[in-house]
């Protein structure tokens, strides 16, 4: 994440600005069980986003972070199985306790990235958009 941003910023400066959207995680903000390294890494992405927004705002570069919750992907299924769970049962039960009562879809995250990269968010920088169906509300 850092290296990609480091190498794209000079091109964005030359172009007169740009948009960077980092992908964090809800666990960057809340933490989670059996995931110390993951939580720490994603918290680093979250805070790096804020620092980069300060550094690159004067160059008309918006830097934001999308922090997804549980998204129905092969990664989530693999994680569940590694921890000894049964994917469909685990998330059916967990999702029932959340405000939106479902897993997220990759498209849910993509639309948030699209928004942050669009002309509809010209003054949004240094922000984290939590996309988790209310999971950490």
91 catalytically annotated: no
Q: How far is CA 93 from CA 7, 23, 84, 88, 98, in A?
A: 43, 26, 15, 9, 10
Separation CA 83–CA 94 (nearest Å):
15
Place of tokens 């199985």: 81
Q: How far is CA 54 from CA 26, 36, 48, 49, in A?
A: 22, 27, 10, 9
Q: Active-site positions?
A: 38
């Amino acid at each position: 994440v850092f290296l990609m941003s480091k190498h794209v910023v000079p091109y964005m400066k030359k172009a007169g600005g740009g948009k960077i959207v980092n992908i964090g995680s809800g666990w960057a903000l809340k933490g989670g069980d059996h995931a110390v390294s993951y939580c720490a890494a994603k918290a680093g992405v979250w805070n790096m986003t804020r620092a980069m927004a300060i550094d690159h705002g004067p160059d008309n570069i918006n830097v934001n972070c999308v922090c997804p919750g549980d998204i129905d992907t092969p990664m989530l299924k693999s994680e569940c199985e590694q921890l000894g769970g049964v994917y469909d049962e685990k998330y059916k039960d967990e999702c029932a306790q959340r405000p939106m009562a479902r897993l997220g879809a990759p498209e849910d995250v993509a639309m948030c990235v699209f928004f942050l990269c669009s002309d509809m968010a010209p003054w949004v920088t240094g922000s984290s958009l939590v996309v988790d169906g209310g999971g950490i509300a």
